[in-house]
A and B are shown apart, each in its own frame.
Chain A
Amino acid sequence: MSVLTVTNLRKSYGTVKAVEDINFTVEAGEVFTIIGPNGAGKTTTLEMIEGLQEPDAGAISINGLTWKKDESEIKTLIGVQPQSGALFELLTAEENLDLFASFYPRSRKTSEVLEMINLTEHRGKRVKSLSGGQRQRLAIGLAMINDPRVIFLDEPTTGLDPQARRNIWDIIMKLKALGTTIILTTHYMEEAEKLSDRVCIVDQGHIISLDTPAALISRLTQEREMRLSFHDGEEAASQTEKAIQSQPDIVRMERDGANLTLWSVKPEQSLYDLLGFTKEQGYRVEHVSIREMSLEDVFIAFTGKEWRD
């Protein structure tokens, strides 16, 4: 069952076209991640879905409802953690949650949410004195206070240290386990790859590609990069290079001293042959690696842009 449907969404500011014809559907219980370079239209898209901005054209349907007709009902169905913390600085974590709980006809228990975001210990601390990670967890807590069907997390881990980032991931997984649909934006490919069911790559207001992380990666060329370094120095490396050249699976080779880099469309077969040869010759191989393709490669391949964290 689809929870969110976006069709032909468009928005421009003067002559700048921020969003041009975006279409996607998010299924219930899915973690749907939108990635893209800065200025790609991620935030504009999110804000239109959240009802903060009116699209120039196109339709948004959340659980079959539309903003024009069912604004107050939609608001009870969604929870949002915006990029800027947006908390009451002088209130405590618990007071923030209590206040937001009062806005909704139905809400989770404050203590339950505090437990989920792991802030029970700091419930009485004012937001001002919370750490960056704690604040971000509280912002997520506010987004889940109404037990929403869909939760929007806009770059929840930006600027956090690895430990704090993992804590946020844990919360996202807990939410997913509870069946909440999650719409996520992030700057971290590792995060997108690890958490998402599907990833949507946006650039210049268009969707460039939308699929599961694994499918996106496999869509890239089948060539894989392998590296070997030889203990016996340049001589061994160059001998191996010559011997293996005739292999049809190997597309390209590069040698730099005792290091050999090769690209193969059948990496397993190539590696088998290669190591057979070195064993025969008695060469000692110091280091072997096959580089895994990551979402980052996908991103670079699709957008032609270097990824910036």
Chain B
Amino acid sequence: MKIGNQLMKLFLAQLKTMFREKQVWFWNLFFPVILMVIFMVIFGGGDSSDFKAKVALVKPQSNAAADSFEAGLRKVPVFEWKTEQAVSSEQADTWIKDKDVDAVIILPESEEAGDIQLIVNTENENNATSQAVRGILQQYVQQASFAAAGVEPAFQLQSSVVSGGDEDLSSADFLLTGMIALSVAQAGLFGMVDMVELRRTGLLKRLRLTPMRMGLYGVGGMMVRFILSFVQIVLLSLIGVFGFGANLHMDLPTLIVAFFVGVLAFNALGYLFSSFSKSIESYMGLANITSFLMMFLSGIFFATSGLPDWLKPVTQVIPLTYFVEGMRDGMVYGSGFLTSTFWSGMGILALWGAGAFALGAFIYRKGKVEAR
């Protein structure tokens, strides 16, 4: 009865403290949302069917070959034409320089000359749009050549996208779940700064002077952190689904397990950092480095398969890898609860958490004796 009341009071005190702190709102809710929106706009802004390149056509001479070429090009769906009519090369040059168009295609000057030119702005030479336009044009020219020679191509490339899930995993789903995992992990890594603050202000010492059990304070704090992370998940999911068309295939038991193990593990890491950080600055430095490294090595924004081989083993040990995988299992793959990869991932994550907590607690206990 008394314990329950105490826990309730400790929980409410920490809940109020957390939500009265503007920094918490900013870093744990506003910032992840902004970050996700930015990443979604850059990387996940729709499917390839939405891809459009603005191009202009220059036709120095009208002849049968050029006319048929033009007619064909005009049918390519991803090209958005600046004008219906072909323009002069001077006009096209100006557009390129002003970046009014992504590319200019110049048809051959005469029926005999076979050169088709593609002009892009130097600044954009290597960007995705230029590359895509170049590829499309290349393919088109090839097909036209085959047609002119009266040859059927012997090979054709069929490409499609396959993901781990039953259904196609869009980049929006991938980013959304990545951002959720990152936000929850960061809330844990950074959130334990409270402990440093508690020690700095002498409040930790003050609490030790009362009969209150510090474990209970910790439990109350964890309850608050779970609430915060839950709010993060809901908020980011809503924005991802309604703002960017992400598809979620929830598997609730999987999600709940991954969420609990993850929140505990990353808070334990934060707790460990707090045990040996003498100042807020040093704690923040540690948390920043850790989260920054993990962010790029755990497949949050892009798949880890693109990493150089010597880095891949690192990916296999850091906890965020397993957390983001677990969250994806629970939110988009729908691969179910009983896969061995899921449970071994959770096991590694739990091991991290337990290890960090044990070490942190040890350092705290040692510090109590030496504290002056």
Contact = CB atoms under 8 A, between A and B. Distances in A.
Q: Do A and B bind each other?
A: yes
Interface of A: 13, 44, 50-54, 72, 75-76, 78, 80, 82-91, 95, 98-100, 102-105, 126, 142, 146
Nearest to A126: B20
Interface in B1-58: 2, 5-6, 9-10, 13, 16-17, 20-21
A105 B210 contact: no
16 contacts: A44-B372, A51-B209, A52-B205, A52-B209, A72-B211, A76-B211, A84-B202, A85-B201, A86-B203, A91-B13, A91-B17, A98-B9, A99-B13, A102-B9, A105-B211, A142-B206
B21 A90 contact: yes
Given A82-B202, A86-B203, A103-B210, 10 more contacts: A80-B206, A86-B202, A88-B13, A90-B17, A91-B16, A100-B210, A103-B212, A105-B211, A126-B20, A146-B210
B13 A78 contact: no
B208 interface: yes
Contacts of A105: 2, 211
Interface string B195-216: 0000001110110111110000
Contacts of A91: 13, 16-17
Interface string B354-372: 0000000000000001011
A75 B205 contact: no
A4 to B, nearest CB: 15
Nearest to A92: B16
A103 B8 CA distance: 11
Secondary structure dominating the interface of A: loop
A78 B13 CA distance: 23
A98 B369 CA distance: 30
Contacts of B21: 90
A13 B372 CA distance: 9
Top 8 nearest A-B pairs (CB, nearest first) are A84-B202, A86-B206, A103-B212, A86-B202, A102-B9, A75-B211, A103-B210, A90-B20
Nearest to B17: A90
Q: How large is the interface on B (under 10, 10 to 19, 20 to 34, 35 or more residues)?
A: 20 to 34
Interface of B: 2, 5-6, 9-10, 13, 16-17, 20-21, 201-203, 205-206, 208-212, 369, 371-372
A135 to B, nearest CB: 12
Given A13-B372, A90-B20, A82 B13 contact: no
Nearest to B204: A86
A53 B2 CA distance: 28
A102 B209 contact: no
Nearest to A145: B210
A104 B369 CA distance: 25
Given A52-B209, A100-B210, A104-B211, A86 B201 contact: yes
A88 B205 contact: no
B208 A52 contact: yes
Contacts of A104: 210-211
B209 A95 contact: no
A50 B209 contact: yes
A114 to B, nearest CB: 17
B6 A102 contact: yes
